[in-house]
């Protein structure tokens, strides 16, 4: 198999009107990635070295998106929607390059797995000219049936054309196929449009291939793998299936999920063994967590790196560029963005750290803010090793707090602080004996007068 070349032709030209969206259907996300990108990844995992995307609705948007998830893919526009065979032929230029295997896939089946595609390619390697991927849905109503005889596929029969006995068949057409490259164009060009809709149906190549004496067989994928997305209900169902799969994988790899059904992963989440994840945690794209970390409840993490034995949350937000080193802690109601929290440093409570470095062993008090933005530009805050930042401090960047620097609580610091220095940046306190009692009495009298006046109005 490794010596056979493979092209995946992914049909992604549908308008997706049932999604009720201006966004092309196949660009709607599953686990933080466009659904068509999941299809591309599955094809690549099955050995497809060539990618052809057949696009139509939202072509410019599709091309732009494809540069991220399929930078080497060729795009072909299906100008008129004249059926699935017509769509595949839009990629004639790619098919004609002489690949051994051609996988025909759909951009709205994001859960297709590489094993199902590999099984189809294996049958091509054994000599089949066409391999149809089938599945067994819980309810076969509405699906085309796969008619087999003697281990060969004889026809794909649409339900309306099935006999009473054929309708009892539970093995249905998933739409995806693998076709031997040597026969692909000849078979596709033979498809006609003499039908009620005047369209060119890909399924017709089954009978065309058989008429030419070629072998046609079917393989089976799971129902989940073949699930197509037509509307946002299907989208949510696919998301739930994907998440369930990923949670299962995570737990088998040594990750503890206290309440698995409440944890949401992205397509590229990396999480090491012995990490504990509490309920209601969301991992956005670009998260890498080493082993032994603890992620407390209700944390939101995206684009962040978390080293071994870190402690995050509860109710923490790590934004892109957050880099937590060994045994660092980011506690409750803290936000970190584009900042390094070095070994053993603590950012415990109600704090914002952005565009900064917090040195090893430093302690950031509650309510601290790195003031990194002046409305036009971002500036950097450098906090040295072992520094202590008192509660309710504002560090106005650009600024450096030296190693073991000590910032008094409630300070606004606008100038850099040397190593081992103590810095105050607040107004001097003034205490007036008895003035508090006088103030309370005056305020109470004013409140009572206001209340009495309000009653008189009624």
Q: Across residues 276-291, what is the average pLDDT?
A: 98
pLDDT, residue 329, reads 98
pLDDT, residue 458, reads 54
Query: How high is the mean pLDDT of the chain?
Result: 94
**Statement: residue 255 has pLDDT above 70:** yes
In this prediction, residue 430 has a pLDDT band, given cuts at 50, 70 and 90, of confident
Record the tokens describing residue 418, joined without a space. Answer: 């040397």
Query: CA-CA distance, 383 to 380, in Å (whole number)?
Result: 10
Domains and CATH numbers, the chain: 6-220 (3.90.550.10), 232-423 (2.160.10.10)
DSSP 426: S
Q: Across residues 211-227, what is the average pLDDT?
A: 95
Per-residue pLDDT reduced to its tens digit, 53-91: 999 888 899 999 999 999 989 999 998 889 999 999 999
Q: What global pTM score does this model have?
A: 0.89
Q: Across residues 16-39, what is the average pLDDT?
A: 94
* Short-list 258, 225, 231, 27, CA closest to 116: 225
Using alpha carbons only, how large is the chain's radius of gyration in Å? 31
Beta bridge partner(s), residue 358? 341, 383
Per-residue pLDDT reduced to its tens digit, 98-146: 999 999 999 999 999 999 999 999 999 999 999 999 999 999 898 999 9
Q: Across residues 399-422, what is the average pLDDT?
A: 96
Question: Does residue 304 or residue 453 have the better pLDDT?
Answer: 304
pLDDT, residue 350, reads 97
Give the residue numbers annotated as catalytic, written as ranges: 349
pLDDT, residue 370, reads 98
pLDDT, residue 457, reads 58
DSSP 347: E
Q: Across residues 8-13, what is the average pLDDT?
A: 95
In this prediction, residue 150 has a pLDDT band, given cuts at 50, 70 and 90, of confident
Phi and psi of 406, rounded to 5°? -125, 120
Q: Is 31 left (phi over 0), alpha (psi -120 to 50) or beta?
A: left
Share of the chain above pLDDT 70, in %: 99
Contacts (Cβ under 8 Å, ≥6 apart) of 4: 47, 100, 101, 121, 124, 125
In this prediction, residue 2 has a pLDDT band, given cuts at 50, 70 and 90, of low
């Amino acid at each position: 198999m490794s010596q056979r070349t493979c092209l995946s032709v992914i049909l992604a030209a549908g308008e997706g009107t049932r999604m009720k969206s201006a966004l092309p259907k196949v660009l709607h996300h599953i686990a933080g990635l466009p659904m068509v990108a999941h299809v591309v990844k599955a094809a690549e995992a099955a050995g497809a070295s060539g990618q052809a995307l057949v696009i139509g609705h939202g072509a410019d948007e599709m091309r732009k998106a494809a540069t991220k998830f399929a930078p080497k893919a060729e795009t072909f526009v299906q100008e008129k929607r004249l059926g699935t065979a017509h769509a595949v032929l839009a990629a004639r230029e790619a098919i004609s390059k002489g690949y051994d295997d051609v996988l025909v896939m759909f951009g709205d089946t994001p859960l297709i797995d590489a094993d199902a595609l590999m099984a189809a390619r294996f049958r091509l390697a054994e000599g089949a000219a066409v391999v149809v991927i089938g599945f067994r849905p819980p309810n076969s109503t509405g699906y085309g049936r796969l008619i087999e005889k003697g281990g060969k596929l004889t026809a794909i029969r649409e339900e309306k054309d099935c006999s009473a006995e054929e309708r009892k068949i539970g093995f249905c057409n998933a739409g995806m196929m693998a076709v031997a490259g040597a026969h692909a164009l000849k078979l596709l060009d033979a498809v006609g449009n003499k039908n009620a809709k005047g369209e060119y149906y890909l399924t017709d190549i089954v009978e065309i291939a058989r008429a030419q004496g070629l072998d046609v067989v079917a393989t089976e994928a799971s129902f989940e793998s073949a699930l197509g997305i037509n509307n946002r209900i299907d989208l949510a169902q696919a998301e739930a299936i994907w998440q369930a799969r990923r949670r299962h994988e995570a737990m088998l790899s040594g990750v503890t999920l206290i309440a698995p059904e409440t944890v949401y992963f992205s397509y590229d989440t990396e999480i090491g063994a012995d990490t504990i994840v509490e309920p209601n945690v969301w991992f956005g794209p670009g998260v890498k967590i080493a082993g032994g970390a603890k992620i407390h409840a209700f944390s939101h993490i995206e684009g962040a790196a978390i080293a071994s034995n870190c402690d995050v949350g509860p109710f923490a937000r790590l934004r892109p560029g957050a880099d937590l080193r060994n045994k660092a802690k980011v506690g409750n109601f803290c936000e970190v963005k584009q900042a390094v929290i070095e070994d053993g440093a603590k950012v415990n409570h109600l704090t914002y750290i952005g565009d900064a470095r917090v040195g090893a062993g430093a302690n950031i008090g509650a309510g601290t803010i790195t003031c990194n933005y002046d409305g036009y530009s971002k500036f950097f805050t450098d906090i040295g090793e072992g520094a202590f930042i008192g509660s309710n401090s504002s560090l106005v960047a650009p600024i450096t707090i030296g190693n073991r620097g000590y910032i008094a609580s409630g300070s606004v610091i606008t100038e850099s602080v040397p190593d081992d220095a103590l810095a105050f940046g607040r107004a001097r306190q003034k205490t007036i004996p008895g003035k508090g009692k006088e103030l309370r009495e005056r305020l109470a009298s004013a409140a009572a007068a206001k209340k009495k006046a309000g009653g008189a109005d009624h």
